[in-house]
A and B are shown apart, each in its own frame.
Chain A
């Protein structure tokens, strides 16, 4: 009996031919979406929602108000000896924007992070996985001052290898330190890309200050030990203070939700296909009933068939899903300043995806099976199909409820909570409930319009007969068009606004940072390249404290010459410093927690001297400053020189013609001894690339929705052709060419694509108008070119899918079709 049922099921599927393939494709698409989104969300969750210990580098992160000085480091060591702290590692984070230049290149790469670590103890938690040298540890690699480890993305962007000489520079005091790449990391504990690690000796070199340790990470034997660390005068950040950002959680939920919705679309396609597949077997089903098969016997037979479809489709979908997730991950990985994603295949989720596909396809198939087994055997005598009775409709409704429950259960498992799962199902139902009637009404309206030409008339008539399938396909295309349109409006729009606001490459567009000893040579270089006018600032690191002795976190100090206006800052209150006893502070220093006022006295200490200054005013960066906005304490140039002695860095800001900016940057970068040359154009391009990369990733995701639309279009066309084969045979017998027949099919689907795309774009505009009204600063808009591109994309997809499926059947000879039928 089992072999009879199995043989019957397999052979029926094989005989189904194209219909079977379509059904398998539908479920494969659904499982592909689910598995790819699940794998991607697992990878993202690993990284974005990592254990808080990895973010802190231990059980706690220890910091002070300023870099940790000798006394503080001694207190920390005491805490260890007392057993309060089990172990700790020192960290020296470079707080300003850091630039990296490969030797032999004049261009810089911006790093998200450059960090000094104690190579003997780092990392306390997590691991640094080096691909080169393979299997080496941080301690193995960072033996010599000047050796650094870069993350793989930095190595890729700059073409770095082991032994590559690089220079690291920053705006203040850390200019152009020569370093050597000694390791390339595939993974760092907190997954942050665009990073560089070096040991504490190198950190001292870069900071040019003995007080370079910014924080420490520690392991504790008990959580209560953190309080004792605080009592010792440190600021402590606990794991309980680290909460996954709501943005990360939302992103992860959206990925999972997208996967489930993909499965839903696949399931609808399966139900569609199976309905027609079984409708073609009405006589066969009636015959089985005539020889004594009961409903439950037929249910068992056809459920087995559907489950086999589900297995085939789910296995294919899972394999493709693995591939798609890898591609999406690499898109996400390529966004600027991204976290380091590590690809892994979560076997449990893969198997779960296959299981969900089998269950979903069987559940959705029940709808078609219920309709199929309702056939009365009397049709064997009268022929034709029967009208659905109230009983059939009632049981159909019951199956829809059952499918909703099953789908809800799958959603709950995938989303990790019943509430979230129910929310996804509710969103799907509401979307279908809103979009379905909307598209039905639009389609009805358009189909009532008098359309010119006989071909359009035939296309319109055909659409009238397959409304339900057409509407489902349009909904999928609409979702894709809307998602891409919205992503374009937000991300590309943001990119355009950033470019408009900061993106002009004119103005102060060339920045050079270097050490004092290279200043004369750099001045000569600028002069010889026709640059005689530039704004100069001199930077140093110092300890700054209030009059009452409490240290400030502000350690960057700049000296600026004369009373000339600087393009990058605007004094908001008080005056710029005129005397050596005056200081101009960034505007945020007036607010809590610093709470400094004009007239307050500050003590500034360098390695060589101490000075007192009075706050003369506050400033804020101008838009022209762009990414190079200062947040230093500004003194007169003479005071800065007095404080720093030879330990001074300079930054020159010049305005050069935009046309020669690129070439000058390269020339000066190569020629300037020990200096870092940064072009505003490079910085603007970096910012623009961030938005661009993110858009590409979102578009990749939204592409799945468009793909769903294409699959459903192919499904609808394929099924329609099955039903209209005889009609096609008759048309051809009457003299219609294959081209004419194909044209009617393409016209039908072009109409669907245009309608879905248009509604998608209009919906984006409506949503944007609503957001702009609520948040005027959002300024969302969609460019006409983007709108047109979306419309073309939607229409082309619909046409392409239809053409692929309809090409061969429209070319069959009429006698072949009519005889077969």
Chain B
């Protein structure tokens, strides 16, 4: 059965200033991702993986090209509209977890709901999501009271609480030991199964990349493998 296209990138380029020069990070990258896929984005350090992730998740804008998320061209959206996309369509998981240090695990997961339409259900939904990632007993703990693996699970819960169709993860196991990293990947697999989410994982780790359905390989700003 043909699955719907949830993400389409068309001829993306991105330049960044570096002193007096301009560096071309991405040089015309195009690909599509179907619903429910687990796609890895791989490549050597400095290849443009994180830049690509930033563009497709609405954190950054391309210098040229188009990004279409669930049929919406997000390329030229203003900041408020992009924020809405990031809140409802795309969940983002970072290598450094990026939890709010002053909030508890429960409150970190609630946070995205307070700027969306479901604010009145924030507490219940966040609690449910924490249970889904196996951290109900740590709901009242602050990030500095959690292990690395626990913090990443909270970050995953936060990314999923608004029920986005796409989850983008930037080196999600980069700051974790191999055993904990494997647990996170198992969690991703389970959640994909249970929630039907589309996963896009940026990684330089072959073990992590191997868990995906397919890989997009970037080198020197070009997409070499996996455009389909």
Closest B-chain residue to A15, C-beta based? B102
Choose one: B60, B107, B159; the contact of A4 (CB below 8 Å): B107
Q: How far is the CA of A267 from the CA of B70 in the complex (A)?
A: 47
Q: B26 CB to closest chain A CB, in angstroms?
A: 13
Q: A392 CB to closest chain B CB, in angstroms?
A: 13
**Residue B217 lies at the interface, judged by CB distance under 8 Å to chain A:** no
**Residue B116 lies at the interface, judged by CB distance under 8 Å to chain A:** yes
- Which of chain A's residues 1-51 have a Cβ closer than 8 Å to chain B? 1, 4-5, 7-8, 11-12, 14-15
**Residue A295 lies at the interface, judged by CB distance under 8 Å to chain B:** yes
Q: Are B59 and A291 in contact (CB under 8 A)?
A: no
Contacts of A11 in B (CB 8 A): 102-103
Closest B-chain residue to A292, C-beta based? B87
| Chain B: interface residue total (CB-CB under 8 A) | 36
**Residue B148 lies at the interface, judged by CB distance under 8 Å to chain A:** no
Given A7-B107, A381-B170, verify A289-B83 contact (CB < 8 Å): yes
| Binary CB contact string for chain B from 100 to 122 against chain A (1 if under 8 A, 0 otherwise) | 11110001001110111001001
**Residue A323 lies at the interface, judged by CB distance under 8 Å to chain B:** no
- Which of chain A's residues 262-309 have a Cβ closer than 8 Å to chain B? 283-284, 286-295, 297
Binding site secondary structure of chain A: helix
Chain A interface size, as a band, is 20 to 34
**Residue B198 lies at the interface, judged by CB distance under 8 Å to chain A:** no
- Which of chain A's residues 340-399 have a Cβ closer than 8 Å to chain B? 376-378, 380-382
Q: How far is the CA of A284 from the CA of B101 in the complex (A)?
A: 8
Q: How far is the CA of A734 from the CA of B196 in the complex (A)?
A: 54
Q: How far is the CA of A381 from the CA of B52 in the complex (A)?
A: 10
**Residue B51 lies at the interface, judged by CB distance under 8 Å to chain A:** yes
- Which of chain B's residues 76-106 have a Cβ closer than 8 Å to chain A? 79-80, 83-84, 86-88, 92, 94, 96, 98-103
Q: B152 CB to closest chain A CB, in angstroms?
A: 14
Contacts of B119 in A (CB 8 A): 1
Closest A-chain residue to B103, C-beta based? A8
Q: B155 CB to closest chain A CB, in angstroms?
A: 9
**Residue B181 lies at the interface, judged by CB distance under 8 Å to chain A:** no
Contacts of B102 in A (CB 8 A): 8, 11-12, 14-15
Given A294-B79, A295-B80, verify A288-B51 contact (CB < 8 Å): no
Contacts of A7 in B (CB 8 A): 107
**Residue B200 lies at the interface, judged by CB distance under 8 Å to chain A:** no
Contacts of A1 in B (CB 8 A): 114, 119, 122
Q: Are A292 and B84 in contact (CB under 8 A)?
A: yes
| Binary CB contact string for chain B from 57 to 82 against chain A (1 if under 8 A, 0 otherwise) | 10110000000000000000001100
Q: How far is the CA of A295 from the CA of B114 in the complex (A)?
A: 14
| Binary CB contact string for chain B from 150 to 171 against chain A (1 if under 8 A, 0 otherwise) | 0000000011001000000010
Instruction: Point out which of B83, B92, B99, B114 has the most chain A C-beta atoms below 10 A from its C-beta.
Output: B83
Closest B-chain residue to A289, C-beta based? B83
Contacts of A15 in B (CB 8 A): 101-102
Q: B184 CB to closest chain A CB, in angstroms?
A: 19
The A/B interface has a contact count, at CB < 8 Å, of 85
**Residue B135 lies at the interface, judged by CB distance under 8 Å to chain A:** no
**Residue B9 lies at the interface, judged by CB distance under 8 Å to chain A:** no
Instruction: Point out which of A7, A287, A293, A376 has the most chain B C-beta atoms below 10 A from its C-beta.
Output: A287
Closest A-chain residue to B92, C-beta based? A290
Q: A458 CB to closest chain B CB, in angstroms?
A: 26
Given A7-B107, A284-B101, verify A294-B50 contact (CB < 8 Å): no
Q: Are B53 and A380 in contact (CB under 8 A)?
A: no
Given A291-B158, A292-B112, A293-B115, verify A381-B98 contact (CB < 8 Å): no
Q: Are A380 and B59 in contact (CB under 8 A)?
A: yes
Q: A389 CB to closest chain B CB, in angstroms?
A: 12
Contacts of B116 in A (CB 8 A): 292
Contacts of B103 in A (CB 8 A): 8, 11
Q: How far is the CA of A294 from the CA of B116 in the complex (A)?
A: 11
Contacts of A5 in B (CB 8 A): 114
Q: Are A380 and B98 in contact (CB under 8 A)?
A: yes
Q: Are A288 and B79 in contact (CB under 8 A)?
A: no
Q: How far is the CA of A11 from the CA of B103 in the complex (A)?
A: 8
| Binary CB contact string for chain A from 688 to 728 against chain B (1 if under 8 A, 0 otherwise) | 00000000000000000000000000000000000000000
Instruction: Point out which of A8, A291, A377, A378 has the most chain B C-beta atoms below 10 A from its C-beta.
Output: A291
Q: Are B92 and A291 in contact (CB under 8 A)?
A: yes
Q: Are A294 and B83 in contact (CB under 8 A)?
A: yes
Q: Are A377 and B59 in contact (CB under 8 A)?
A: yes
Q: Are A290 and B59 in contact (CB under 8 A)?
A: yes
Q: How far is the CA of A286 from the CA of B102 in the complex (A)?
A: 15
**Residue B54 lies at the interface, judged by CB distance under 8 Å to chain A:** yes
Q: How far is the CA of A318 from the CA of B119 in the complex (A)?
A: 38
Choose one: B59, B83, B159; the contact of A378 (CB below 8 Å): B59
Q: How far is the CA of A5 from the CA of B59 in the complex (A)?
A: 24
Q: How far is the CA of A380 from the CA of B80 in the complex (A)?
A: 18
- Which of chain B's residues 157-210 have a Cβ closer than 8 Å to chain A? 158-159, 162, 170
Which residues does B use to contact A, with CB under 8 Å? 50-51, 53-54, 57, 59-60, 79-80, 83-84, 86-88, 92, 94, 96, 98-103, 107, 110-112, 114-116, 119, 122, 158-159, 162, 170
12 A-B pairs (CB sep. < 8 Å): A4-B122, A11-B102, A15-B102, A291-B92, A291-B111, A292-B88, A295-B80, A297-B115, A377-B86, A378-B54, A381-B50, A381-B51
Besides the known contacts A287-B94, A293-B115, 11 further A-B residue pairs in the complex with CB atoms under 8 A apart: A8-B107, A11-B103, A284-B101, A289-B86, A290-B86, A292-B84, A293-B83, A377-B59, A380-B94, A381-B54, A381-B60
